[in-house]
Structure 1
């Protein structure tokens, strides 16, 4: 289940806060079967109709029908008079359920109703022309993928997409959002071939004690670039990475001899520093609890005090140490191919600290362009105020300005 969407899911970290977060927290309590706490978040009228046992019976009946709970895949909000109604989509083993949570002005749960989810069909953004390209199945090192090809006359520039952290699918689905599908369809609507594929950790069970980004990301990304290079309808090949994929994009481009690099939300610092800043940010907003032990582990990782084979925070210490040694900024400085870096000003996961490092280290390089869109978050989606993890569960699309910037840069 994804709560903090970045490199790792942090065990023991609780997300909560304002009204949206209160509704989200209530659903979290149901999922974790903490029915007593969930009931305490309800109005007196709801508690008069439900008790811990009846709430437990409702949840267990859902599991009996649909199997074990898997993840929250999104939510929508509607306002009806004095109430806000949140429709959370919950994915189980054998289907999806809508949990309708009604919140009153005091932030109490005034109603709870479960119904069969209608299913969330992908709706392309306005900048996509579905008649302008075709989509075909493709395999990358045995991994299922898709290639989108413009219907106009080629050859075309081409892009290989490299995912962020976690076992991502080819669309880089985060909640109800499909980051890579938006990018692929947006670019292919404008004369660019795009290759995307499932990440290996989604398809295969891998040993966390020995896993590094070499097996998780880099080998398959290099293969994707080579597949595009061998196509007769391709004129040049770019690597486009998001988050962790952006961090590794310079190395992937160097090893595959790609013609250019596009880095969306690229971290410049070691993983443990990024995670530490994320937690402290969430704490400052009152959105995180029980982070003390995690912060201690991150400090030990900084000092390399944890044995490489030991599993911490969902992976081995080796994973952290290997990633730290790769030094993406130094690799990028050596590259002479065109590079485009795109940041969101509301991104708390790859923050202004990272922007400044990239800007300082790459300043003066004529092959580098850096763009910052102040109102975008880590997913390159528009929002207001300070970004939180809960907004990733709202349905949206990659901003058109990002798509246009990539197209314009590639054409130039």
Structure 2
């Protein structure tokens, strides 16, 4: 009897340890990595029985990323993405009806996945009320597609010219993009930054030319090999194009540059005395390597990294940028960078495989030129009226260090207005933290405060 009770008890214990449910990972799931980055996980099974995982982040330009290795069984999932040195492992929690797991990518972060149904998908769709209003409302300006040449390198740049209603000539601006493969609207996270800016300015009586970067959308040329100085040549070609239009008041022609465009606008002004004014939106005022180091520090802190991890990253990139600015030839710099990153991986300062990714990024022609640039001499040469705007919450071109730099470098110019706009981020959206993770989640594309500051000032020039 005792033996039977033990046997029955053992069977009961075993049966109690088995789940009364079984969840198959196959399906559509959604979650947020500790509230920062949203991920949609699409778990499928091929006819041959192989599991596949595709990942899309609504907060990261909606690129589809396929997992390399996938393991799945009842109540368990695991997958990895070698390209990003990332992996996820989770178990099913019947009480919460969710996968509870850990996303590991340099650090371990909690990621809870729930069903991605129609309601959840609809909740992810962000509204763009400013763009919607532009599409629905009648315009008091004309808009036409145009093209112009950068004869220096024989490329054609495609853009849009908006002209106010009425009899000209009109004050006018060329819009110059920030870094990245931007189209004429400077589309970022489904926000059409330059569309909203052009609409506002032309509604206020200011003509606007915006254009696709070389090699992007309808423009010809090679984007990948271009540097900031090449993009400056393209911006000058845009100014030259407006010089040919009778509708444009040549005495009131200026440039608005955003981010990297805020480096380019002073270049044009310093070399073109006939340019009437420039507007710098989050334009760097100190050396670009210093801007990138501070950008990295603030971004890592905003993403929840520990102070120790931030300091480790700062050390790695400070040394890397020092190597790039050593004055050596490109071949020597690449060799020194590779050796340094290899050692950093051995020391644990970089994750395994991260060095090769960083080397690929730093060896781009654009980055080689950008990291060496000091805007101080060019800013000192600018004699034109200048409006300088920066968002208080800008983590990419931090306000204090860059506004202080511009103020110091342009002290001889008595027609400079500098404004730090409260609660605005790098895209001049009203924000909470300034983190780039917020960009796509914010409905507002461009703050009315920033829009009015620019149009009001331009009309006074």
Give TM-score scaled by structure 2 length: 0.64
In structure 2, the gaps of 5 or more residues are: 1-31, 42-54, 58-62, 71-77, 80-86, 100-109, 150-155, 335-357
Q: Distance in 2 between matches of 1:19 and 1:369?
A: 38
Is 1:111 aligned with 2:115?
yes
Tell me which moved more, 318-327 or 228-237. 318-327
CA RMSD of aligned residues (A): 3.7
Kept in 2, the 8 Å contact 1:166–1:201? The answer is no
Q: Distance in 1 between matches of 2:66 and 2:294?
A: 26
Is 1:18 aligned with 2:34?
yes
Kept in 2, the 8 Å contact 1:247–1:328? The answer is yes
Q: Identify if the C-alpha distance between structure 1 residues 46 and 230 changes in structure 2 by more than 3 Å, giving closer, same or farther.
A: farther
Is 1:182 aligned with 2:196?
yes
Other-structure match for 1:298:
321
Task: State the 1:281 CA deviation.
Answer: 1.9
Task: State the 1:307 CA deviation.
Answer: 1.7
Q: Distance in 2 between matches of 1:242 and 1:316?
A: 24
Task: State the 1:223 CA deviation.
Answer: 0.9
Q: Distance in 2 between matches of 1:220 and 1:314?
A: 23
Q: How does 1:182-201 map to 2 (within 5 A)?
A: 182-201=196-215
Match of 1:158 among 155, 159, 172: 172
Kept in 2, the 8 Å contact 1:43–1:110? The answer is no
Other-structure match for 2:381:
334
Task: State the 1:362 CA deviation.
Answer: 2.3
Q: Identify if the C-alpha distance between structure 1 residues 116 and 144 changes in structure 2 by more than 3 Å, giving closer, same or farther.
A: farther
Other-structure match for 2:229:
214
Q: Distance in 2 between matches of 1:212 and 1:220?
A: 11
Q: Distance in 2 between matches of 1:380 and 1:125?
A: 15
Which structure has the higher relative contact order (CA within 8 Å, separation 6+)? 1
Q: Distance in 2 between matches of 1:207 and 1:124?
A: 29
Is 1:402 aligned with 2:408?
no
Q: Distance in 2 between matches of 1:250 and 1:405?
A: 19
Q: Identify if the C-alpha distance between structure 1 residues 369 and 342 changes in structure 2 by more than 3 Å, giving closer, same or farther.
A: same
Task: State the 1:214 CA deviation.
Answer: 2.5
Task: State the 1:228 CA deviation.
Answer: 1.1
Is 1:411 aligned with 2:454?
no
Q: Distance in 2 between matches of 1:47 and 1:299?
A: 50
Task: State the 1:335 CA deviation.
Answer: 2.0
Task: State the 1:285 CA deviation.
Answer: 3.4
Q: Identify if the C-alpha distance between structure 1 residues 379 and 46 changes in structure 2 by more than 3 Å, giving closer, same or farther.
A: farther
Q: Distance in 1 between matches of 2:372 and 2:232?
A: 15
Kept in 2, the 8 Å contact 1:163–1:241? The answer is yes
Other-structure match for 1:173:
187
Kept in 2, the 8 Å contact 1:344–1:376? The answer is yes
Structure 1 residue matching 2:222: 3-state secondary structure: coil
Q: Identify if the C-alpha distance between structure 1 residues 27 and 188 changes in structure 2 by more than 3 Å, giving closer, same or farther.
A: same
Q: How does 1:252-331 map to 2 (within 5 A)?
A: 252-256=268-272, 257-287=274-304, 291=313, 296-304=319-327, 307=330, 310=334, 312-314=359-361, 316=363, 319-320=366-367, 322-323=369-370, 327-331=374-378
Match of 1:228 among 226, 242, 255: 242
Is 1:353 aligned with 2:353?
no
Kept in 1, the 8 Å contact 2:214–2:223? The answer is no
Kept in 1, the 8 Å contact 2:281–2:389? The answer is yes
Q: Distance in 2 between matches of 1:223 and 1:272?
A: 28
Q: Distance in 2 between matches of 1:299 and 1:379?
A: 29
Kept in 1, the 8 Å contact 2:186–2:193? The answer is yes
Q: Distance in 2 between matches of 1:120 and 1:232?
A: 41
In structure 1, the gaps of 5 or more residues are: 1-15, 51-105
Q: Identify if the C-alpha distance between structure 1 residues 242 and 319 changes in structure 2 by more than 3 Å, giving closer, same or farther.
A: same
Structure 1 residue matching 2:235: 3-state secondary structure: helix
Structure 1 residue matching 2:130: 3-state secondary structure: coil
Task: State the 1:299 CA deviation.
Answer: 3.6
Which one has the largest radius of gyration?
2
Number of matched pairs: 341
